[in-house]
Structure 1
Amino acid sequence: MKKFTGLLLILLIHSFFSHAVFAQDETTALVPLPSVDDFTRGKDGWALGLGLGIEYETAYEGSDEFGFELDPAGALQWRRGDNIFFWAGEALGWRGLRADTWLLEALVGFDEGRAESDSKKGHLDGLGDGEEGLEFVFQARRAFDADWRYWLVGRVVASENGNLGLFGVGRRFGDKLDGSGSEVNVVAVYHDSEFANKDFGINAQQAAASGLAETRMSGGIRSVGINYNYRHIINKNWQIFGEALYEHFSSDVRKSPIARSDYEAEIGIGFIYVF
């Protein structure tokens, strides 16, 4: 009986200290938001998380076709204090925390453009492939307090094919500070005429080849939307993440023959292994 009691005491002590260590890890995320990857565990230096996600999403902007797509997940990161530099897929960037309530992020990424083959039903035939190009993104989130329960968000995307802006509000659910839990953002999206025509415009040559009406888009509101992010940290190495998005197009966008649906939507889930 004494041996059993001693073993039980050892297990309880081990469980307590394991929980204490994990609780310390819970406070080490740069910001406690599920949408912001932080694999550094609060330590300066290199960090790496790799994984895979599967998404069920619309085939292209304005499409009424849906399909599954496998995407790599994770990032290579280097942290120095409240700054993280990262390489994630086709994006290279930096994010930094300022005054506990400002999260700033800047990155350069690659836009693959739209391909005619994105529509399996031939709705894009004659429109040709969209132009590829670099895009520069700057984003700022301003929390109402240091626990990041509510915040405002703004994002600007500048590219070779036009510019886009996003403005919205966010809310975090859950009490942990390790980046797990869930969050929701409600946003309004604006585009200039060049960006609008990239996705929804049809020039004279495309109209002749496709049979669709020639369409010139003007700038303005593009859509309103809501997105949801979820992250569960199973243990020191394994994480599960999920995302759902719904974007409802403005009346101007819906007038384009390319917009065969009033909305864009996607849902995805995946896992990441943190080294």
Structure 2
Amino acid sequence: MKNITAVFIAIIVNCFSIYTAIAQDKNSVLVPLPSVDDFTKGENGWAFGLGVGIEYETAYEGSDEFGLEVQPAGAVQWRNGDHIYYFAGEAFGWRGLLSDNWLLDALVGFEEGRAESDSDEGRLNGLGEQEEAFELVLQARRSFTSDWRYWLVGRLVTGDEGNLGLFGAGRRFGHQTDGTGSEINVVVVVHDSEYANKGFGINKSQSANSGLKETNLSGGLRSIGIDYNYRHNINDNWQIFGEALFEYFSSEVRNSPIARSNYETEVGIGVIYIF
């Protein structure tokens, strides 16, 4: 009888341990998406992640020149329940899980400018310098399942130099619920005329200085794109991540003299240490 009781108690303890592990895994991140970094490990308070990434990407929007660039990675985060406030690079932001199926994100940051020297072949000569510009980014994701297997995403980027909108759908792969694994998103991107001309327009002065045809774009479809995100925990502190992006421009953008290529692409990989 004592042996049976001991076995019964052991089974209960093991089941409770398994349940606890599952619960901790489920609640360790705000949402189980590799594209949403969460260094808090499910605990309220401060969390830090510091690392570095290497990106192989086009030199500027529409360029047919490619190069490697080293970028810092990670963030400082503060969690309070289902809300995370963070500082990453030049951006301050907040993201919150308002229900099991809604994730909202808002950040204030700066859009990277463009310099004539970004083109090693001189294809931006005469177009002048574009300084960093303030921008506000608002994003919402709506999951169709409690485990965030499928979702819709919408994003608005607005600032000093126009507005851009993104709409798409995504899918998560793997059975992990700790923010690791991989995901893919397919999106449609639109912009207003001000945003379009910031990247691909050529005014009269720029045309005279560069010899390129004067170009004025209207608002509308900018591109269709696909992006892939990957994240893996090596151990409790070290994490690797990767991303691949492909964006195919609309016919109006492709007709701009600045668009030396019909697409933009980027591949990156990096490592982060979580304190």
Normalising by structure 1, report the TM-score. 0.92
Structure 2 unmatched ranges of 5 or more: 1-16
Q: Say whether the 8 Å CA contact 1:26–1:179 is kept in structure 2.
A: no
- Residue 169 of structure 2 aligns with an amino acid whose one-letter code is V
Alignment of 1:1-275 (within 5 A): 25-27=24-26, 28-275=28-275
Residue 19 of structure 1: how far off its partner (Å) = 9.4
Residue type at the aligned position of 2:110:
F
> In the alignment, residue 129 of structure 2 is paired with which amino acid?
D
Counterparts of 1:21 and 1:41, CA distance in 2: 14
- Mapped to 1, the partners of 2:20 and 2:87 lie a distance apart of 28
Structure 2 Cα separation of the partners of residues 243 and 85 of structure 1: 23
Q: Deviations over 1:202-261 (max 9, x none)?
A: 000000000000000100000000000000011110000000000000000001000000
Between the two proteins, the alignment pairs up a number of residues equal to 259
1:68-124 per-residue CA deviation (whole Å, 9 max, x = no partner) reads 000000000000000000000011000000111100000001113111111000000
Residue 6 of structure 1 corresponds to none
Shift of 1:23: 5.6
Report the Cα distance in structure 1 between the residues aligned to 2:239 and 2:91, rounded to whole angstroms.
Answer: 21
C-alpha displacement of 1:131 = 3.3
C-alpha displacement of 1:130: 1.3
Give the conservation status (yes or no) of the 8 Å contact 1:25–1:178: no
Q: Distance in 1 between matches of 2:20 and 2:81?
A: 21
Percent identity, please.
69
Which residue identity lines up with residue 210 of structure 2 in the other structure?
S
The residue identity in structure 1 corresponding to 2:30 is L
Distance of 2:254 and 2:219 partners within structure 1: 14
C-alpha distance in 2 between matches for 1:118 and 1:269: 22
Structure 2 CA distance for aligned equivalents of residues 112 and 241 of structure 1: 22
Report Cα offsets for 1:11-48 as digits up to 9, x if no partner.
xxxxxxx9998766532110000000100000000000
After superposition, what is the alpha-carbon deviation per residue over 1:160-218, rounded to whole angstroms, capped at 9, x for unaligned?
00000000000000101100000000000000000000000000000000000000010
- Please tell me the residue identity of whatever aligns with 2:144: F
Give distance in 1, aligned partners of 2:51 and 2:25: 21
- Separation in 1 of the partners of 2:114 and 2:163? 17
Q: 1:205 to 1:46 in 2, by over 3 A?
A: same
For residues 35 and 181 of structure 2, what CA distance do their matches in structure 1 show?
A: 10
Distance 1:238 1:22 in 2: 20
Q: Which AA in structure 2 matches 1:72?
A: P
Counterpart CA distance in 2 for 1:21 and 1:237 is 21
- SS of the residue 1:198 aligns to: helix
Give the distance between the partners of 1:204 and 1:39, measured in 2 at CA. 49
The change in CA–CA distance for 1:53 and 1:114 in structure 2 (over 3 A counts) is same
After the TM superposition, which segments of 4 or more aligned residues of structure 1 sit over 4 Å from their partners? 18-25
3-state SS of paired residue (1:26) = helix
> What CA distance in whole angstroms lies between the structure 2 residues aligned with 1:138 and 1:82?
18
Q: Cα gap change, 1:231/1:19 in structure 2, threshold over 3 Å: closer, same or farther? A: farther
Deviation of 1:50 (Å):
0.4
C-alpha distance in 1 between matches for 2:76 and 2:19: 27
